[in-house]
Amino acid sequence: MQPLLSIKDLRISFRSRTSQFAVLEDFDLDLQKGETVCLVGESGSGKTMTGLALMGLVPSPGFISNGAISFEGREMIAAGRNRAAEIRGKNIAMIFQEPMTALNPVFTIGEQIAEMLRYHEGLGRKAAIERAVELLRAVGIPEPEQRVHEYPHQISGGMRQRAMIAVALACSPQILIADEPTTALDVTVQAQILDLLEEVQERLGTTILLITHDMGVVADVADRVVVMYCGRKIEEGPAAEVLADPRHPYTSALLACIPRPDPEATTRMKLLDIPGIVPAASARPAGCAYAARCAFAFDKCRAERPPLFEVAEGRSAACWLASKEHSQ
Amino acid sequence: MVPVSALARNLLTSIVTVLAVIVFNFTLIHLAPGDPVTVMVGEMGGGDPELITRLQQQYGLDRPFAEQLFTYVLSVLTGDLGFSFYYNMPVLDLILQRLPATLLLVVSALCLAIVIGTALGVVAAQRPRGILSHLITVISIAGFSAPVFWVGIVLIIGLASALPIFPTSGMRDVTNIGAGIWGDTVDVAYHLVLPAFTLATVYLAQYSRLARSSMLEVLSADYVRTARAKGLPERLVVYKHALRNAVLPVVTIAGLQFGQVVAGAVLVETVFAWPGLGRLAYESILRRDSPTMLGILLFSAVIVIVANIVTDMVYRMIDPRIGARA
């Protein structure tokens, strides 16, 4: 089956006066219709950059230096070319981490939804506002007739994220990119927003690319998970399998960091972390970028970067431990 | 949209401010050396001490300071700003005669500065490191640094003398009397070009710098990224989503600057012989005409206060976050 969206060999580089370095490299990803894929990784792993690249919104001085992105078989973005504007907002929509700042403070919620419909679908002002009320109702905002005339500062954070989702859904996009949509919200509200995204997906068949650093969220909603580290994909597979049996030490470490309450414990639980820091994008080591923090690293890891090995049907991991020679 | 309570609160503080301004100005002028009677007697060709004492008595200048102040405040409150020694007419009439010319000049200059300055700033912010941006910065700083009277003189030499496109001075052409309302308007507008532009050059720089930095900040805001992610054309992203937020500081400064522009008008009115309050202020200071001086200071204060109230109201209309739930 032809994927809805296909990323091939994507590289995003940043150029400064003296140097150029990549923040995302050798990145492949296929999104099928109606699935939820989670992009997981620490800050600086390239998750958000991937999302922005899909929208054609890589911030300057960053640019796509290699690779291609195609949507429904049509090439949208390749190095030096960018046709993302044609599908942006209409076919692919994005919601962001901070609902506090992602909405424009000087326009009403209704106006911010309605302008999508007026611009992309040529609706009149009145019809667009009526649709906006419907959209607000659909994302679970109470009294939508009233809220539509209110400004972002007049509603709560959770409501703002719902309004943001209504903006994103205005033109019924096939793909919704959600960049850490729950990070800035209260825990109770987080679950509501995730439920809302799942409900939207069931109703509209939307493909969701969820960017997160929270393995709990992955366990909750993901069909497939892509783990990223230092601008590269290091593990990919069906969420249930990856969570149950991670093949990359980094994925294992991420899973170990989730606090689990132990009723038997007599002492206070120790929170685990991954020792060391993520190397800067401008100073990445020659071998595996994770080697310096990895408990299993050996000489080859430091000398040579492991490619993605297919470890099972639809599963891959970029680790020498996952290679065939090693398992033999 | 504008809450009545905010307006009422503004008016109340304004009244207190105006009272304070009256007392302060009166005290200041009283403390300053020089006495209108000395000037009058000097212009009459000298006089004996007896005449001076009689004149001082006549004008009440021999009374204690507190009594003079009290009399002045009381008469101002009843709408009487006193009588000009020099112009021989009530100060209120004198000021009302000159006020429209100054307001016309100041408001035109400020509008020119805001519109052109903001436009330049917005253009510069699109490509902050581009050649156009640098050019705008240089022009802005040059305009800001040049003394306003010098700019006026250069413009007169260039565009009124060497190339006689605009008139050198005044507000109306004497040969144009009886041209009707339309003809008169055109004539005044024609005379207004150079003085308004001169006064605008100083303030233009501040608006273009302010608009540039404010626009740069806003363009990197999350909601601008959202606007782009919505697939809106760049035109809507910049001129709707970004500009509306970027003009907020411009509006604030415009209100604060109104007073400075009125002050700047003194120089421009002198250079262009513009029959406004600024020139009247200049002349009344030379003549030690204290009632006129006090009247002008009072009017300037009122103008600035009104400008600030208007700014506040405009701000409330542009930014829904302010006072919306007050």
- Residue pair A45/A228 in contact (Cβ under 8 Å)? The answer is yes
Minimum distance, in Å, between the CA of residue A168 and any CA atom of chain B: 7
- Residue pair B51/B41 in contact (Cβ under 8 Å)? The answer is yes
Instruction: Mark yes or no for CB contact A151/B320 under 8 Å.
Output: yes
Question: Which one-letter DSSP state was computed for residue A171?
Answer: T
Q: In sequence order, what are the beta bridge partners of A36?
A: A208
List residues in chain A touching B: CB distance below 8 A: 55, 57, 85, 87-90, 93-94, 96, 98, 101-108, 115-116, 119-120, 151, 153-154, 164, 167
Strands A207-212 and A36-40: parallel
Report helix, strand or coil for B318: helix
Dist CA A245 CA B84 (whole Å): 96
User: Is residue B149 one of the residues assigned to a domain?
Assistant: yes
User: Is residue B42 one of the residues assigned to a domain?
Assistant: no
pTM of the model as a whole? 0.78
User: Is residue B143 one of the residues assigned to a domain?
Assistant: yes
A-chain residues near B236 (CB < 8 A): 115, 119
Nearest residue, CB atoms, B229 vs list A55, A98, A153: A55
Q: What are the angstrom distances between the C-alpha of B239 and each of A231, A234, B161, B215, B227?
A: 35, 42, 40, 10, 11
- Residue pair A128/A152 in contact (Cβ under 8 Å)? The answer is no
The CATH number that applies at residue B156 is 1.10.3720.10
| Tens of pLDDT, residues B246-265 | 988 888 888 878 777 887 88
User: In this complex, how many residue pairs, one in chain A and one in chain B, have their CB atoms less than 8 Å apart?
Assistant: 76
pLDDT for position A79: 65
Residue B40 has pLDDT above 90, yes or no: no
B-chain residues near A167 (CB < 8 A): 226, 230
Residue B296 has pLDDT above 50, yes or no: yes
Q: How many CB atoms lie within 10 A of CB A17?
A: 5
DSSP letters for B111-160: HHHHHHHHHHHHHHHHSTTSHHHHHHHHHHHHHHHS-HHHHHHHHIIIII
User: Is residue B272 one of the residues assigned to a domain?
Assistant: yes
Is pLDDT larger for residue B73 or for residue B169?
A: B73
pLDDT for position A31: 93
| Average pLDDT for chain B | 85
User: Is residue B238 one of the residues assigned to a domain?
Assistant: yes
Q: How many domains does chain B fold into?
A: 1
**Mutation site, B217, B223, B321, interface A, largest A CB count within 10 A:** B223
Rounded to the nearest 5°, which phi and psi values hold at A23? -105, -10
Minimum distance, in Å, between the CA of residue A5 and any CA atom of chain B: 17
User: Is residue B264 one of the residues assigned to a domain?
Assistant: yes
Q: Which residue of A has its CA nearest to B325?
A: A154
User: Is residue B12 one of the residues assigned to a domain?
Assistant: no
Minimum distance, in Å, between the CA of residue A118 and any CA atom of chain B: 10
Q: Which residue of A has its CA nearest to B218?
A: A104
pLDDT for position A267: 64
A-chain residues near B227 (CB < 8 A): 104
Whether residue B319 lies within 8 A of chain A, CB to CB, comes out as yes
C-alpha angle with apex B21: B256 to B15, nearest 5 degrees? 80
Minimum distance, in Å, between the CA of residue B13 and any CA atom of chain A: 28
Nearest residue, CB atoms, A151 vs list B225, B230, B324: B324
Rounded to the nearest 5°, which phi and psi values hold at B227? -60, -40
User: Is residue B166 one of the residues assigned to a domain?
Assistant: yes
Mean pLDDT by 10 residues, chain A (328 residues): 89 87 91 93 86 88 88 80 79 88 92 93 92 91 92 90 91 92 83 89 92 88 93 93 92 83 65 75 82 87 89 90 72
Instruction: Mark yes or no for CB contact A88/B230 under 8 Å.
Output: yes
Report helix, strand or coil for A77: strand
Q: What is the ipTM of this complex?
A: 0.85
Residues spanned by the domain of B296: 102-318
Q: Which residue of A has its CA nearest to B229?
A: A89
Minimum distance, in Å, between the CA of residue A102 and any CA atom of chain B: 4
